[in-house]
Amino acid sequence: MEPHRWLPLEANPDVTNQFLKQLGIHPDWQFVDVYGMEPELLSMVPRPVCAVLLLFPITEKYETFRTEEEERIKAKGQDVKSSVYFMKQTINNACGTIGLIHAIANNREKMNFETNSSLKKFLEDSLSMTPEERAKYLETYEAIRVTHESSAHEGQTESSSSSLSSPPSSSQPQVSHSRTKASQLCQSASLSWAKRNHVGPAKATSPSIRLRRWRPLIRLPSVGLHSVAPSIDEKVDLHFIALVNVGGHLYELDGRKPFPINHGETSDDSFLEDAIEVCKKFMERDPEELRFNAIALSAA
């Protein structure tokens, strides 16, 4: 049977906030861009923050790390609170929606849902399910699928499935990830960070570590960005994960992984900084990559 495939969702606060509105969530919490990792840039993010979505490239280096991480956790174990809401990903290109579900589900006591909210009903129906059952339920949950499709069309995504490349082979289901059409995402590292990680001078052009969403119709051949949709031969694999605080621990929630990843203790006050430390590790594992972006779910 052909796997379910959705249009990819863009890491754009305008798109994600409209998505949440259509799912029946009052705008008490809104996604905002995270423009950089230094204290002065993080101070621009409204507080409190209850979740961070990270968009990053799936590369061979990352896939190697992911396999090693899974084996290490299976061997040593980890503590994961039973209250963590986690679901697997079985739908191609649904990582953005699953990231949003993870963000809202693990902060549902903070959210103000409309009475007829389709997401509220999905969460209530799926609370007692396993991560695999939640994934299968999403496959048949028409209200969220339709909303996802509408939001994907609102962004700068492209619907041509032929131009979506697959991630590197692994034992996990090969589910396509998020990509942008004319607005790919990149990070410019600081000179000091670049030197530590041997990044070439062309990439070390910013005075701070920035996460930047490139605007449409800008052509920057030196970093591989295009003003038109990439050809079928170009490999562009971008994937969303959610970072949340549940019971004083920071969890990474990725539907491609078999379980949540516990990144240690956190608090409401330090959550954004702690989440950004996790984001830095993703960037440091692929110092030559530029395609990183983060958005934070903040109190409006």
Calpha distance 22→249 (Å, rounded): 30
Question: 171: Cβ–Cβ under 8 A, 6 or more apart, which residues?
Answer: none
Task: Identify whether the C-beta of residue 157 lies closer than 8 Å to the C-beta of residue 7.
Answer: yes
Beta strand residue intervals within 183-273, DSSP E: 185-188, 210-213, 238-246, 249-253, 261-265
Q: Which of 168, 24, 5 is nearest to 104 (CA)?
A: 24
List Cα–Cα distances, 238 to 92, 235, 257, 292, in angstroms: 12, 10, 15, 9
Tokens read off for 227: 């003003």
Tokens read off for 133: 């059952």
What are the φ/ψ torsions at residue 121 (nearest 5 degrees)?
A: -65, -40
Task: Identify whether the C-beta of residue 42 lies closer than 8 Å to the C-beta of residue 276.
Answer: yes
Query: What residues are annotated to the active site?
Result: 95, 239
